Amino acid sequence: MLTLEKRPTPSRFWTAATPVVAVLLTMVAGGIMFMLLGKNPFEVIRTIFWDPLFGEFAWYLRAQLLVKAGPLILIAVGLSLGFRAGIWNIGAEGQYIMGAVIGAAVGLAAFPTENRLIYPVMVLAGAFGGWFWAMIPAILKTRFNTNEILVSLMLVYVAQTILAMASTGFLRNPEGSGFPGSRNFSNYKAASNPELIAGTGMHWGVVAAFVTVIAAYVLLQRHLLGFQIKLSGQAPRAARFHGVNPTKLTVLCMGISGALAGLAGLFEVTGPAGQISIDFNVGYGFTAIIVAFLGRLNPIGILLAGLIMALTYIGGEMASTNLGLPSAAIQAFQGMLLFFLLAVDVLSNYRLRLFTAGAGPAKTKTGGAS
Amino acid sequence: MEGLTKAYPGVVANSDVSFTLKAGEVHALLGENGAGKSTMVKMIYGLVKPDSGRMIWKGAPYAPAEPRAARASGVAMVFQHFSLFEALNVAENVALGMENPPPMGELAARIKAVSEEYGLPLDPSRMVGDLSAGERQRVEIIRCLLQDPKLLIMDEPTSVLTPQEVEILFKTLRQLSAEGTAILYISHKLEEIRTLCDEATILRRGKVVGTCTPRERTAREMAEMMVGAVLTPPERAPRKDWGDTAPALSVKGLSVASPIPFGTALKAVGFDVARGEVLGIAGVAGNGQDELLLALSGEIRSEPGMVTAAGVPVGTLGPAARRRIGFVMAPEDRLGHAAAPDMSLVENAFLTGAIRKGLTRRGFIDWAATRDFAEAVIRDYDVRTPSSGAAARSLSGGNLQKFVIGRELSQAPEVIVINQPTWGVDAAAAASIRQAILDRAAAGAAVVVISQDLDELLEVSDSFAVLNEGRLTVPRPVKGLTIDEIGLMMGGAHGMEVAHHG
């Protein structure tokens, strides 16, 4: 009989090995899925994981890697702080949209003034937009004990409606001959977020993501607040005994993750996306949840996970255009990654034991005897 | 049924315990926490094997190897903590506990029949998650009754019940005993035992210290037997007069609701503790001990004046602010409350030591200093652990208790609040913990010790009070306290009222 036995101390080896094993298992299971779809699994896996880095179009796709990974990492690091504290902000997608809309609105309000201060103000407005959107579930939770998972998720759809209103209504380009979508920020120098080094994909959002990773790492390792976040997630009663105020912590964690998601939205709308449009959001806020867990809620891990996830995005797109795979298959592939990660994760806290029949059940209840 | 005798010399938990149980008798097993009641019944139920001694069941030797064997012989047990699946319904839960469950429909009908026969209304199709604690207990009882037991063991059955539910339960138990089922009833609630039980065996520190017929005794007489006669506190150095105008810790009219499900609200609790004084608070678990600790630690806030330290109101302050002015606290639940199970001892040292040991600089943690602090505690309090990096949950209960107590007492405290200081700790370590508490008191700390071990309280305390249903008796000096008076203070609501007004 196979049983799970709790380890006295979490295994360091499995904590580090879990993501690698999960990626490998995803390749195997995904390969089987692709095979059932009638494709050559090796070709698909190669297209997803190898071609973007070393294939024919790598010169262009490598830059895309940072463009995609930047917002994922920025959002995921913020989410991971809340997840560590047991606060489940699932609505980063909505906070991302609101950051983009409010930040863009501030920039467009100043059009066509050219001033070096405009972009920093837009960045603050973007962060504020995400923070504000995250405060709604945070305050509803702390005041009325609502479930932040549901509320933050529902607010994504509200944000999408606001995005549609913005691109067809209050932020529509007056010179766009009636087409939906705002002015393009690439034509408005004071408010644009250009590539900093040509051909690398590096823009301010990617810089912000790297800075955030370092800041979060220091926060969690060395700062009192990081300790309180970890403590609240692991042992809520011990956290109250330590003196953590659960209300303050909820507001703080939701606020940080919302502000970072808002920043990601602002950098995206002024940079790679260029304008507010109905289909501006592409699910970074949801994918970041997978990235956060794939990175084991650890900032450095999230950095690597964000890059891997971006790779599957870019490679997945290539696979669907070049090999004719349905995009749902790619999404299922990405979902498998989270699935296997959570499944393999059990091994860091439990070990598998093979019991010979009969020896198992008798052992279970003697613990409390002495 | 002939009778049941057993003897176990040599074991710490139970030594040379014997008693007899007749068919249809309701027999009480009475004793304080840690007296060995649970170990005793675990042996009968086949969960623990006796080291020596024997049991005789219906005239034949009886030695169950596992609970299944005990059940097959007609022994059933209702545990203090239920083992039910909340997401399954009543019938499914009952089926899970049976060796050969009948088809669901038939089982549901039998559950209905049995529950009506014994006056325990229960709908087999309801989800266990929706049931109250009393109803969950009925599921456990009916699960036992379906096996048609000859001996039913009930471990602290009333601790989670409302008075009305207790009444229903007692009716059922009387009916069972009238039908010839023997019932072994474990409790420390004396009035219950007087109303329900025919015979009582009283355990103290693993030994039988007496037997009696509860109906013919008063609750106080039984309490005396439970506590024992050795109640003289050890000689201690005379207390220094610190010349304070206000007591180091003063609690006045402290009334707070309990944040714990089935918890007990505190009702107008009041006491003063001076520097160098140890106040011992006795009482049976679940009478407001946890809540009192939470209110003193700042995890439950109260009106400002309800708790004052050296004349300063602190009722509204949280745990961190109270530590800053000299409070240290050690809750009863070590794993999850006093310590974070998955964190290392270093991190757990930081958990409460951060403020008084100055382990942060502008919000950044000084891990080197924290490690030194953790290792000092490990050394000074003889905590057995491979390293300070070990997770708290990898330590044994007693070792973790030593770590927790050591962590608190090493912080040069002004006010010390400890719930169950020596729970689960071996005798030698318990003695050293008590000595450490007394040393801290001698150094000028005001100490509140909450414990269910009367001997311990009388050993360390200067004054003594009892917590009962959220009310505290007026503290009295331990010196000169007679066993009669302690019995009165402890002996249920009636005796307590006398002490309260007196």
Instruction: Compute CA distances B416 → B128, B258, B281, B294, B425, whole Å.
Output: 41, 22, 13, 13, 19
Q: What is the pLDDT of residues A90-102, one digit of tens each?
A: 999 999 999 999 9
Query: What gap in Å lies between CA B284 and CA B455, rounded to an integer?
Result: 14
Maximum C-alpha span of chain A? 82
Minimum-distance CB partner of B66 among A235, A240, A362: A362
Q: Given this model, what pLDDT does residue B494 score? A: 36
Q: Given this model, what pLDDT does residue B502 score? A: 33
Opening angle at CA B181, ends B178 and B182, nearest 5: 110
List chain B residues with CB under 8 Å of A9.
390-391, 393-394
**All residues at 6 or more sequence positions from A35 whose CB lies less than 8 Å from its CB, including other chains:** A41
In a domain, A80, yes or no: yes
**B292–chain A nearest CA distance, Å:** 14
Q: Given this model, what pLDDT does residue B227 score? A: 66
Query: What gap in Å lies between CA A217 and CA A233, rounded to an integer?
Result: 17
In a domain, A297, yes or no: yes
Domain B26-227 has CATH 3.40.50.300: yes
Domain B26-227 shares a fold with domain B234-326+415-424+441-502: yes
List chain B residues with CB under 8 Å of A361.
66
Q: Given this model, what pLDDT does residue A72 score? A: 96
**Cβ within 8 Å, pair B298-A243:** yes
Instruction: Kindly give the parts of chain B with pLDDT less than 70.
Output: 1-13, 32-35, 81, 132-133, 159-164, 188, 227-238, 262, 285, 424-428, 483-484, 487, 490-502
8-state DSSP, A106: H
**Domains held by chain A: number:** 1
Average pLDDT for A108-123: 91
Query: What gap in Å lies between CA B227 and CA B451, rounded to an integer?
Result: 14
Instruction: Compute CA distances B121 → B111, B143, B153, B169, B177, whole Å.
Output: 10, 14, 21, 11, 19
Search chain B and give the residue with CA nearest A240: B299
In a domain, A165, yes or no: yes
Opening angle at CA B304, ends B302 and B305, nearest 5: 110
Query: What gap in Å lies between CA B267 and CA B326, rounded to an integer?
Result: 26
Search chain B and give the residue with CA nearest A238: B337
Query: What gap in Å lies between CA A47 and CA A35, rounded to an integer?
Result: 14
Query: What gap in Å lies between CA B322 and CA B325, rounded to an integer?
Result: 5
Token pair listed for A113: 């003034």
β-sheet with B199-204: strand ranges across: B75-78, B151-155, B182-187, B26-30, B199-204, B207-212
Minimum-distance CB partner of A238 among B48, B351, B390: B351
8-state DSSP, A369: G
**A99–chain B nearest CA distance, Å:** 30
Q: Which of B147, B85, B95, B92 is nearest to B125 (CA)?
A: B92
Number of A to B CB contacts under 8 A, please give it: 85
Q: Given this model, what pLDDT does residue B230 score? A: 44
Query: What gap in Å lies between CA B466 and CA A131, rounded to an integer?
Result: 51
Q: Given this model, what pLDDT does residue A154 score? A: 96
CB of B317 less than 8 A from some CB of A = no
**B9–chain A nearest CA distance, Å:** 16
The CATH classification of domain B234-326+415-424+441-502, taken from the options 3.40.50.720, 3.20.20.70, 3.40.50.300, 3.90.226.10: 3.40.50.300
In a domain, A266, yes or no: yes
In a domain, A8, yes or no: no
**B184–chain A nearest CA distance, Å:** 19
List chain A residues with CB under 8 Å of B407.
none
ipTM score of complex: 0.82
Please say whether the beta carbons of B282 and B465 come within 8 A.
Answer: yes
- Residue A115 in 3-state DSSP? coil
Q: Which domain holds residue A128?
A: 67-302
For chain A, the helix, strand and coil percentages under 3-state DSSP, each to the nearest 5? 70, 5, 25
Given the DSSP bridges, would you call strands B182-187 and B151-155 parallel, antiparallel or unpaired?
parallel
Q: What is the pLDDT of residues A300-340, one digit of tens each?
A: 999 999 998 899 888 888 888 888 888 888 889 888 887 88
In a domain, A84, yes or no: yes
Q: Given this model, what pLDDT does residue B228 score? A: 64
In the predicted structure, residue A365 carries a pLDDT above the cut 80: no
**Cβ within 8 Å, pair B47-A366:** yes
In a domain, A11, yes or no: no
Q: What is the pLDDT of residues A31-84, one digit of tens each?
A: 999 999 998 999 999 988 888 888 888 888 888 899 999 999 999 999 999 999
Query: What gap in Å lies between CA A143 and CA B133, rounded to an integer?
Result: 29
> What ranges do the domains of chain B cover?
26-227, 234-326+415-424+441-502, 333-412
Residues facing residue B450 across a β-bridge: B281, B419
**Cβ within 8 Å, pair B342-A243:** no
Q: Given this model, what pLDDT does residue B424 score? A: 66
List chain A residues with CB under 8 Å of B360.
224
- Compute the half-sphere exposure of residue A17: CA atoms within 13 Å on the CB side of its CA: 11
Q: Which of B84, B145, B79, B152 is nearest to B111 (CA)?
A: B145
